[in-house]
Amino acid sequence: MTGELSPIDKAKFVAAKRAAEMVEDGMRVGLGTGSTAAWLVRCLGEMVSRDGLKITAVPTSSRTAALARDVGINVVSLDEAKWLDMTIDGADEFDADLNLIKGGGGAHLQEKIVATASDQMVVIADASKSVERLGAFPLPVEVLPFGWQSSQALIEETLVSMDVMGRTTTLRMNGDAPFVTDEGNYILDLHLKRIGNARQLALVLNQIPGVIENGLFIDICDTVVIGYGDGRVEVRDINEGTVEKDRLDFAETDNLFTDLTD
């Protein structure tokens, strides 16, 4: 029940609940991947079953697709939907310009494709994801398995000329084997500590042979919904230059999310 949630989970819940209120009947909506996005899917599922909300959803990963179907949301592919009204997703970090680092869940390739095929992107996050400068969270870079070590070497060589504090790169693992994305690729995590010029780094990384996509989302996010553990919610709109503040009440008997895990 929400009354038993930790402050960080309460923050994720209220951010997701507030963002779900932005979804209108008939919309085509991109659904993100990760623990915060999972709260959103459950909120939308409740609106579908309780209020008769009719939406068409494009998930950004196989696990989001499975959850969406479980809660009764109509799921289609991006090719079927063609274009989306809105994508709602989480983030590992966001700065004052709403530039993001994403990919902690390993789905940033699909997430970026879906987000850029939308009229607007809304990010939901707890307040801890707000940073002055991107880079504390390791930057995910999806690479082809073929020659991944060569790609890693080229990335490390490229980082020497970039405005970053750290240059360590590691292959993401799943137990004793490399983590494999939905597209069958590997992920290299770049431990940069601080990124001085995120736009330049995003462009340069994607020029390296073997690199599929990086986790920097530059000029893609339009709105961020920030949740706090006490129920406060802040909505920042980068296009309108507005900041709205609200507070959502918790229903102590609400058990929509008792089986969600990070």
Residues forming the active site:
111
What distances in angstroms separate CA 233 from CA 12, 17, 126, 254, one per listed residue?
10, 10, 9, 19
CB atoms within 10 A of CB 225: 26
Q: Which residue has the tokens 């987000």?
A: 115
105 is in an annotated binding site: yes
- Is 33 annotated in a binding site? The answer is yes
129 annotated to bind ligand: yes
Closest CA to 142 of 114, 104, 100, 175: 104
Distance CA 34, CA 26 (A): 25
Q: CA 192, CA 231: separation in Å to the nearest integer? A: 33
Those residues whose C-beta lies under 8 Å from the C-beta of residue 6, and which sit 6 or more positions away, are 229
Q: What is the three-class DSSP state of 111? A: helix
Q: Is 254 annotated as a binding residue?
A: no
223 is in an annotated binding site: no
210 annotated binding-site participant: no
- The reply to whether 135 sits in an annotated binding site is no
The reply to whether 147 sits in an annotated binding site is no
**Is 36 among the annotated ligand-binding positions?**
yes
Which residue numbers belong to the known binding site for substrate? 33-36, 89-92, 102-105, 129
Which residue numbers belong to the known binding site? 33-36, 89-92, 102-105, 129
